[in-house]
């Protein structure tokens, strides 16, 4: 009997070994990513407040943190403001651990692991992670956004970082929060300077006064001309990408962009208004025309809201429902009061009850409606 032997080219053998190692490494990386994603994914917790006290439920309506608080506030990131039986405020994490003791009469503007409180008619911030108060008292503080907070000192606004260092000296009449790396600044009530970056350098300067410059969202910002309320949208280079003539006269409202669309209210005449969703080309993708009742703002009886968690509120004739991001009415116009979806749930009021519904309009948790 003869045995046949086949020699494998060393180069091919090395190549196959490299391919095999790459496959094993890729599988390991995907496995680690899956495990980390599962572990790190934060579950939404929703505050409930009734006669039993304040607590928190998950998206299925299961009580996760027992109702032992005088009041339970909404979670912002990993933390929520809660009140104890003595009407003092503190902060808890998602395990219910108290991270800031119940010693404050008021806590506000929870953002980026910082919270603001009032002391002797002035304001300090608290670093929640370090449980440390700021050394400086400010005349006013705006919430931290993108690592910086606007502070008001001696009649002017500037910015501090999370270490309390003044990174932009107080010299502006007013400022917005930083959004997508830029903040709008004003020299006087009628003089809009433009947008600065975090180095206090002007990226966009305005040559026209009486402008209201809104925050950047999804690369665009609304700029409203105060005199006639005409609205244009600019990009981060200051170029007009949606001209006011296309959506003029924008008298009532133009929102920030969210999930690709902005809400606009356009007066057709004194008796009629168009309300709808505009894309980034300036085209109305979904709109309705309403008659305006006498002595009433249009948003009091009809309103569209920006998208949140792929859903948006639509209010018509005082009743609110929800559309999805394909502009399909998925939850009918039923509710006298409604909030945006936060993850899987939204808070609504309907007839004699109020509470949370899911994206199918099913009640997840409810209580008798207050004031009924």
User: 307-315 contacts: CB < 8 A, separation 24 or more?
Assistant: 307/258, 307/259, 307/260, 307/261, 308/258, 308/340, 308/341, 308/342, 309/340, 309/341, 309/342, 309/343, 309/344, 310/259, 310/341, 311/340, 311/341, 311/346, 311/359, 312/277, 312/340, 313/338, 313/339, 313/340
- Section 201-208 average pLDDT: 92
More confident residue, 84 or 296: 84
Q: How confident is the model at residue 303 (pLDDT cuts 50, 70, 90)?
A: confident
E strands, 210-249, in order: 211-213, 221-225, 231-234, 240-242
**Average pLDDT in the 115-133 region?**
96
Nearest to 318 by CA among 333, 332, 330: 333
What local confidence, expressed as pLDDT, does residue 368 receive?
A: 96
Six token digits for residue 242: 């949606």
Asked whether residue 32 carries a pLDDT value surpassing 60, the answer given is: no
pLDDT digits (tens, 9 = 90+) for 211-225: 889 999 999 999 988
Mean pLDDT along residues 18-47: 60
% of the chain exceeding 90 in pLDDT: 69
Q: What pLDDT does 234 receive?
A: 95
Mean pLDDT of 198-202: 97
pTM for the whole thing?
Answer: 0.83
Beta 98-104 vs 108-111: how paired, if at all? unpaired
Which of 95-109, 242-256, 281-295 has the largest mean confidence? Answer: 95-109
What local confidence, expressed as pLDDT, does residue 34 receive? 42
User: CA dist 66 to 46, 71, 259, 292, Å?
Assistant: 12, 12, 35, 47
Cα dihedral sign for 90, 93, 98, 99? negative
Give the model's pLDDT for residue 97: 98
Q: What confidence score (pLDDT) does residue 268 get?
A: 77
Give the pLDDT score at 25: 62
Residue 1 has pLDDT above 60, yes or no: no
pLDDT of res. 262? 95
pLDDT band at 296 (very low <50, low <70, confident <90, very high): low
Q: What is the pLDDT of residue 267?
A: 77
331/317: higher pLDDT: 331
In sequence order, which residues have a C-beta less than 8 Å from that of residue 84 and are 6 or more positions away?
Answer: 69, 70, 90, 102
Q: With a cut of 80, say whether residue 21 has pLDDT above it.
A: no
Cβ of 316: how many Cβ atoms within 10 Å? 15
Q: How many CA atoms lie within 13 A of 329 on its CB side?
A: 11
pLDDT band at 325 (very low <50, low <70, confident <90, very high): very high
pLDDT classification of 40: cutoffs 50, 70, 90:
very low
pLDDT category at 370 given cuts 50, 70, 90 is: confident
3-state secondary structure of 95: coil
- Residues 18-42, mean pLDDT to the nearest whole number: 52
Please give the residue that has the higher pLDDT: either 187 or 294: 187
Q: Is pLDDT of 163 > 60?
A: yes
pLDDT > 70 in the chain, percent: 83
The tokens of 13 are what? 């053998």
Looking at every residue in the chain, the average pLDDT score rounds to 87
pLDDT at 59 over 80: yes
């Amino acid at each position: 009997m003869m045995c046949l032997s086949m020699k494998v080219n060393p180069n091919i053998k090395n190549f196959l070994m490299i391919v095999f190692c790459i496959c094993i490494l890729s599988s390991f990386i995907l496995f680690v990513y899956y495990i980390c994603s599962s572990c790190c994914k934060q579950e939404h917790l929703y505050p409930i407040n009734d006669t039993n006290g304040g607590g928190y439920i998950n998206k299925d309506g299961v009580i996760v943190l027992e109702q032992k608080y005088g009041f339970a506030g909404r979670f912002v990131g990993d933390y929520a403001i809660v009140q104890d039986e003595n009407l003092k405020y503190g902060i808890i994490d998602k395990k219910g651990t108290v991270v800031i003791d119940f010693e404050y009469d008021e806590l506000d503007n929870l953002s980026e692991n910082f919270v603001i409180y009032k002391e002797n008619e002035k304001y300090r911030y608290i670093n929640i992670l370090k449980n440390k108060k700021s050394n400086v008292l400010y005349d006013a503080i705006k919430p931290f956004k993108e690592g910086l907070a606007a502070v008001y000192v001696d009649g002017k606004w500037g910015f501090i970082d999370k270490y309390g260092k003044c990174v932009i000296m107080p010299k502006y009449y007013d400022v917005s929060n930083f959004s997508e790396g830029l903040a709008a600044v004003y020299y006087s009530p009628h003089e809009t300077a433009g947008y600065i970056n975090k180095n206090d350098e002007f990226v966009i300067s305005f040559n026209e006064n009486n402008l209201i410059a809104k925050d950047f969202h999804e690369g665009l910002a609304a700029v409203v001309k105060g005199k006639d309320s005409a609205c244009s949208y600019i990009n981060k280079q200051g170029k007009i990408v949606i001209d006011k003539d296309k959506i003029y006269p924008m008298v009532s409202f133009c929102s920030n962009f969210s999930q690709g669309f902005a809400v606009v209210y356009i007066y057709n005449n004194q008796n009629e208004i168009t309300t709808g969703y505009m894309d980034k080309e300036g085209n109305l993708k979904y709109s309705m025309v309403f008659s305006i009742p006498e002595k009433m703002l249009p948003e009091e009886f009809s309103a569209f809201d920006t998208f949140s968690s792929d859903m948006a509120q639509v209010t018509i004739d005082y009743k609110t429902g929800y559309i999805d991001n394909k502009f399909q009415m998925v939850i009918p116009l039923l509710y006298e009061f409604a909030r945006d979806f936060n993850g899987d749930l939204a808070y609504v009021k309907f007839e004699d009850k109020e509470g949370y519904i899911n994206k199918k309009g099913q009640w997840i948790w409810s209580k008798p409606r207050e004031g009924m």
